[in-house]
A and B are shown apart, each in its own frame.
Chain A
Amino acid sequence: MTRILELRVLPPLAIGRLGAAAEPMDNYTAEPDPDEPLAPRVLVPAPTLRVDPDSGEIVDDKAPEQLRFTDGHGKVKPVAPFLEVWALTDDDRKLHPLTVDLLRANKLEPKDVRWCVRVGNHKIERRTYNLDDRIDADTGWFSDHGEHGLNGECANFLTGKTLPLGHARYIKPTTKYPGIRLRFTPAAGNVYGSGGTVGDHDPNVVDALYDATKGTWRGHVDEPGDPRLTIPGQIYAGDDEQRGWVSRGYLDDECDGLVHVELTVDGRKLKAYGRIGAGPPAYAPDSIPVRTIADELDQALYGPKARREDTAEDAHKVAEEVLRRALESVRLMNTAVMNGNTVDGRVDAASTMVRQDSADTGRTFEPIMAPSLVDTAAVFALHQNVLAALRSGTAPWFADVLRDHDEVGDLSAKGRRKMPALMRGADGRSLALTRRQVDLVRKAARQEIFRQENLRHDRGADESGGPA
């Protein structure tokens, strides 16, 4: 018998994206165009699980013919991830998808699977340090297949008001789709306000939830010098007044939290959980940042150094991918402004890398690169050329100018010009690639010169762009 020993929720972290449309976003991949390798990635529709809104069953998994990010009426389709339950079984001690058959082999039914989703939005409490400003939602335990709203409650909300943080649904398994899975559908992506004053009208907000007579969020000002504050500050909507950056009292419907699953097998209660979160939609879905969670996980899994198992070809592909993503990032930046160039004679025209460097150090406000070099079109073209040269199989010579993880606070001219340039991490300092990314690029740089591709021209080269 295949006995269930342990449960897992996979993926262990799923990130949804806000959207007000009724229909969730279809699945797709973003792939480089082999005919135009310097162009943005092409979005390719991928098989998508479609859920019947009445029954909660999956009805098909076709790839859509055409991708649409909105519903045609100005509403963004939310990205609603599925979380699957996998089971460790005693026959081979490997993970298998938990299915109706596997449940039955353990004398269980889908209704024996119990779910509970708990999410929170603690942004306000993070600034006011008042527990009454915490917003939390809890579905309680459920085994049915209906939608369970994630309604955020908060002691400082107006009476009867909750913050809609989306909903969770236990997908009803069928013969064709027998897997046990839950779907998290994030909220609409609205902005809510703080009421309590007669005559308030703010066109930015869809509703007032927060009671400004109970809590201090509207009108809140961060205490200067508070070491607990994040750098850069001003991450809430506000107005610049004499007493500081004054909160308008807005709150949004992003959240993150845990999806718990529970199953009792032979009298043993098995538990597992996965993490979910919701953020804004991807407005540049054909672009990938130079450093992503996937890179962090890669480093967590394989360590900060290139391993013996990482071949020169793997390393070269990482180098090319870093370059491609840098190109995609440049496409979305006003590099001249980010650099701190003057704009129509004005200095400090926007929130830039230069301002972040200056904010807490008293450093002179000064452009990072030579002002003549940062025209976006020219920088973009340069990145394209570097990518093109790399595709020849040439060793990545830029390894030496990559910023190391312990150089993010180097505010010297040379330190600030390292790559990736003009981009900051969450702490307001220059961004660095992961140590593993950097080491792989350097590995590629070390090994390429000993390569030989005999008669390369007789057989062309591989499609991946790396050396064959």
Chain B
Amino acid sequence: MRSRVHRHMASVLPELFDDEPAAMACLSVAGPLDAEEKEPVLPPEFNWRDYTTMLLHVAAEIEHSLMVQYLFAAYSMGGPQVPEGLRDKVRGWQEVILGIAKEEMGHLVTVQNLLTSLGAPINLDREDYPWGSDFYPFPFTLRRLTRESLAAYVVAESPAKWTDDIAERVKKDAEVAVGQEVNRVGELYGRIDKILSNREHIPDELFHAETLPYQASWDEWGRGYTRGERGQEAGNVPDVKSPELLVFGVFSRDSARKALHEVGEQGEAVDVDEQAETSHFKRFLGIYLELEKLPRAEQDKVSRPIAENPVTAHRLNESVMVQLGAKTVTTSPITDPFTALWGHLFNLRYRMLLTDISHAFRLSGPLDNGGVLTGRGALVHRAFAEMYNLRALAGRLVELPLDKDHPDGPRAGPPFEMPYSLELPDRDHDRWLLQRDLVQASRLLTDQLLETNPDCARDPYVVALRESDRRALEQIEHILSRKGCTG
């Protein structure tokens, strides 16, 4: 994916191609990105609709990647080493970062809505590590939460003109973590918005309102989180506001631009208000400034000792350099066989989550007050169920050893490895066959867990997961026996 997207990037980030061959020079009329009066230039091989689709695909990958990295950082936090006096703070920070990750999920599905509205295929893909891209703020790397990794997130979400003393400090820290200058993610939305605002580029008739029933809605994906304004919840962390999950349906040019604007406001817009409490930037920076005040030894105790980029056994001994001048980023193979099985289970449930979301986009929601029920609601629930499973499995993996020879060494952490494919079959019946394949694969993995360690038969989660899979299989068989679900 990277190489295929990369060759079109000069249209958006021409300054990165200053030293490229002359053939790219013609694209430099796009000008520096902070010059608002400059108009986007259509790169070769595209028309405007297709180009917008490509940019939205890139946006989707970025949202997906950020979500996963933020989740990894949040999951890493905690552990018995956290000093008693710091626990309330750490719990609050974890809640903030989980909240930001949830908001990234809202961005991700909103981008899918934009794609659907334009009649383009959705994109839930992302590169595995180690990966760097011109567009991407920093090479995709799963890191436990440290001051430096946090600094990278602050910079990635920062406003265009952020140049005070704090900025200098944070950027320096970010470079330590990433090994290169961290890009901002806000540029891309500005570029897409510029294109969408132009009727010449994207005529009105290209926005398909009739796709709304297929798009994700806040009612389905919001789960009680605030819409529109962040509210103070009497939650488990009193001072942390609940996430503001934005999921916008797109049915017109205005609704498309509003969606982009709101998503940008939440953290990635070029001209985001630095003081806005809602921005990801502000929230990350708040944690950074607090963390910075702690003695170094305490800073290191905020998260568990988790390896960087844990990968499952089929990639043992791999060590790959990230390109584009980034510092060496290596994967950390999980060599403990028992931990590796949990890692595989994590990857599989991650695939099931992506499959559920993708499958839900293929089915329309009810068109009226609810007289007609579809399989879509069931798939949305299944997607959330997998999020809960991922959280449970991550909870295990942050406690289990990475290396079989060093049981007291680094912990593994959730690998978040991408499946070989996210393509769905055309026929709904076949999509449910895929669902069955995945549940059966989960069953095989839990069988292996039991073979490797018979004590798992008493593990309440394994017992419950196997039962849950058995029941899921029954439901899927029921759907299959009726020769297809619901269209």
Cβ of B425 under 8 Å from chain A: no
How many Å from the CB of B392 to the closest CB on chain A? 4
Task: Tell me which residues across on chain B come within 8 A of A389, comparing CB atoms.
Answer: 385, 388-389, 391-392, 461
Q: Are A452 and B79 in contact (CB under 8 A)?
A: yes
Count of A interface residues, CB-CB < 8 Å:
68
Q: Are B460 and A37 in contact (CB under 8 A)?
A: yes
Task: Tell me which residues across on chain B come within 8 A of A369, comparing CB atoms.
Answer: 219
* A377-B475, A450-B87 known; A382-B384 Cβ under 8 A: yes
* A381-B385, A446-B237, A453-B399 known; A388-B366 Cβ under 8 A: no
Cβ of B208 under 8 Å from chain A: no
How many Å from the CB of B67 to the closest CB on chain A? 16
A contact face: mostly helix, strand, loop, or mixed? loop
* Interfacial residues of chain A within 350-405, with CB under 8 A of chain B in the complex: 367, 369-375, 377-379, 381-382, 384-395, 397, 399-401, 404
* Interfacial residues of chain B within 391-440, with CB under 8 A of chain A in the complex: 391-393, 395-396, 399-400, 407
Mark the stretch among A64-72, A106-114, A282-290, A459-467 that contacts chain B: A459-467
User: CA of A53 to CA of B374 in the docked complex: distance in angstroms?
Assistant: 58
Task: Tell me which residues across on chain B come within 8 A of A342, comparing CB atoms.
Answer: 368-371
Q: Are B370 and A38 in contact (CB under 8 A)?
A: no
User: CA of A38 to CA of B460 in the docked complex: distance in angstroms?
Assistant: 11
Task: Tell me which residues across on chain B come within 8 A of A384, comparing CB atoms.
Answer: 464, 467-468, 471
Cβ of A445 under 8 Å from chain B: yes
Cβ of A36 under 8 Å from chain B: yes
Q: Are A461 and B459 in contact (CB under 8 A)?
A: yes
Cβ of A345 under 8 Å from chain B: yes
Q: B82 contacts which of A375, A387, A450, A460 (Cβ < 8 Å)?
A: A450
Residue of A nearest to B77 (CB): A449
Task: Tell me which residues across on chain A come within 8 A of B376, comparing CB atoms.
Answer: 372
* Interfacial residues of chain A within 44-81, with CB under 8 A of chain B in the complex: none
Q: A345 contacts which of B219, B371, B461 (Cβ < 8 Å)?
A: B371
> For the side of the interface on B, what is the size category?
35 or more
* A367-B369, A370-B219, A385-B468 known; A393-B461 Cβ under 8 A: yes
Cβ of B29 under 8 Å from chain A: no
Q: Digitize A428-468: 1 where CB-to-B-CB distance is under 8 Å, 0 elsewhere.
A: 00000000000000100110011111111111111111000
How many Å from the CB of B188 to the closest CB on chain A? 30
Q: Are B460 and A381 in contact (CB under 8 A)?
A: no
* A385-B389, A392-B395, A446-B237 known; A459-B455 Cβ under 8 A: yes
Cβ of B25 under 8 Å from chain A: no
Q: Are B475 and A381 in contact (CB under 8 A)?
A: yes
Cβ of B220 under 8 Å from chain A: yes
Q: A344 contacts which of B79, B237, B371 (Cβ < 8 Å)?
A: B371
Cβ of A228 under 8 Å from chain B: no
* A38-B464, A388-B468, A400-B235 known; A460-B457 Cβ under 8 A: yes
Cβ of B293 under 8 Å from chain A: no
Q: Are B236 and A446 in contact (CB under 8 A)?
A: yes
Q: A457 contacts which of B370, B371, B388, B456 (Cβ < 8 Å)?
A: B456
How many Å from the CB of B98 to the closest CB on chain A? 8
Q: B399 contacts which of A375, A445, A452, A459 (Cβ < 8 Å)?
A: A452
Q: Are B458 and A461 in contact (CB under 8 A)?
A: yes
Given contacts A384-B471, A385-B384, A461-B461, 7 further A-B contacts (CB under 8 A): A375-B377, A375-B378, A378-B382, A381-B378, A381-B381, A381-B385, A414-B227
Query: Residues of B with Cβ closer than 8 Å to A?
Result: 77-80, 82, 87-88, 90-91, 94, 217, 219-220, 223-224, 226-227, 233-237, 242, 338, 365-366, 368-371, 373-374, 376-378, 380-382, 384-385, 388-389, 391-393, 395-396, 399-400, 407, 453, 455-461, 463-465, 467-468, 471-472, 475
Query: Residues of A with Cβ closer than 8 Å to B?
Result: 34-39, 336, 339-345, 347, 367, 369-375, 377-379, 381-382, 384-395, 397, 399-401, 404, 414, 417-418, 442, 445-446, 449-465
